[in-house]
Amino acid sequence: MSASGGTRAIVAALLANLGIALTKFVAWLLTSSSSMLAEAIHSVADSGNQLLLIIGGRRSQQEATSEHPFGYGRLRYLYAFMVSVVLFSVGGLFALYEAYHKLLEPQAIHSWQWVPVTVLVVAIGLESFSFRTAIQESNQVRGNLSWIDFIRRAKAPELPVVLLEDFAALVGLVLALLGVGLTLLTGNGIWDAVGTGAIGVLLVVVAIALAMETRSLLIGEAASEENLAAIEQAITAGDEVERIIHMRTSHISPDELLVAAKVAVRHDDTAATVARNIDAIESRIRAAVPIATVIYLEPDLDRADRPGS
């Protein structure tokens, strides 16, 4: 996984979630709080998700084969999509089920009342550290994009996934703290169930957002607008071609871009001249957009009235 994949952010989130999950389970065993159980399962799901991202990053580095000539880079997208499935099923649906169960039979917290509040406050601190790390890693590659645009446009899925997971974790912890706190103040266990349900809805919404974004990457996204403009400029910067007839780009991994273009050459150019000119254009493209690792340029004559030109 490249540095832009956010390995540091993933590891920080994994370590934080493992510690948090353990303390939440202890708090649930002592208090039987449904919010604590939902948050414990949430942390377990997040830990599994970070492992999936690490595994996906490593498996994506396999060498290309005859069966997969463009390599395995898109495995990073596949594993990121699996994260959304885990978050939806293990995290969101379980929390909603637990909330429904507790709404039918609300239970107040009668013993170890200080434990869940202490655990949640500590967990908020740990999650804040993880979230801060993810923000710092993202700022190195985000540029001038807003956070929403960064999550929507990022071609490397790991940082957006960790950002959304950490954000959901922090909001979930606040919801759990509210549910537990109101239960302790009022003695009514229904607030614990309400907090659990809110956590479930939050996780389902985040999981759906993640699934939509990674689905787009799995299908195959074109180069960013900036890279498209740079590629077009590189092709037309010299006098080798008259114009770009059409061009297609697709990310075959977050760090590898396929460029295919049909370009109009002059009628009297020899084959040797065309080959030399294409080599020059490819060099300019790679210099302008280093991730353009696979380039196919097809020379043709400029016949604008030809079907499919």
Q: What is the pLDDT of residues 211-225, one digit of tens each?
A: 988 888 888 899 999
Question: What pLDDT shows up at residue 294?
Answer: 94
Q: Flag whether pLDDT at 76 surpasses 50.
A: yes
Given a contact cutoff of 8 angstroms between Cβ atoms, the answer to whether 80 and 217 are in contact is yes
Which pLDDT band holds residue 309 (cuts at 50, 70, 90)? low
For 114-149, write each residue's pLDDT tens digit. 888 888 888 888 888 888 888 988 888 888 889 888
Question: What pLDDT shows up at residue 4?
Answer: 45
List phi, psi (to 5°) of 144.
-95, 5
Which DSSP string do the residues of 69-113 spell out, in sequence order?
Answer: TT-STTHHHHHHHHHHHHIIIIIIIHHHHHHHHHHHS-----SST
Instruction: In whole angstroms, give the CA distance from residue 298 to residue 43.
Output: 51
Question: What pLDDT shows up at residue 143?
Answer: 83
Question: What pLDDT shows up at residue 247?
Answer: 96
Which is nearest to 109 in space by CA: 209, 2, 21, 191?
191
For 244-266, write each residue's pLDDT tens digit. 999 999 999 888 999 999 999 98
Question: What pLDDT shows up at residue 244?
Answer: 93
Q: Calculate what percentage of the chain has a pLDDT beyond 70.
A: 95
Span 260-281, average pLDDT:
93
Neighbours of 123 (CB within 10 A): 26
For 89-110, write each residue's pLDDT tens digit. 888 888 898 888 888 888 777 7
Angstrom CA distances, 209 to 51, 68, 108, 148, 268, stand at 20, 29, 34, 11, 53
List phi, psi (to 5°) of 272.
-65, -40
Question: What pLDDT shows up at residue 92?
Answer: 85
Site of tokens 């985000």: 142
For 177-214, write each residue's pLDDT tens digit. 998 889 888 888 899 889 889 988 998 998 998 898 88
Instruction: In whole angstroms, give the CA distance from residue 231 to residue 287.
Output: 10
Question: What pLDDT shows up at residue 12?
Answer: 79
- Token pair, residue 56, equals 């996906």
Question: What pLDDT shows up at residue 308?
Answer: 53
Angstrom CA distances, 92 to 85, 86, 108, 128, stand at 10, 9, 23, 21
Question: What pLDDT shows up at residue 304?
Answer: 62
For 159-168, write each residue's pLDDT tens digit. 888 888 889 8
Strand partners, 298: 262
Question: What's the burial of 307, exposed, middle or buried (CB within 10 Å: 0-12/13-18/19+)?
Answer: exposed
3-state SS, residue 250 = strand
Mean pLDDT of the residues in the chain: 87
Which pLDDT band holds residue 14 (cuts at 50, 70, 90)? confident
Question: What pLDDT shows up at residue 237?
Answer: 92
Which is nearest to 289 in space by CA: 244, 219, 240, 225?
225
SS3 content of the chain, % helix, strand, coil (to 5): 70, 10, 25
Least confident of 11-15, 170-174, 242-246, 289-293: 11-15
Question: What pLDDT shows up at residue 289?
Answer: 96
Which pLDDT band holds residue 6 (cuts at 50, 70, 90)? low
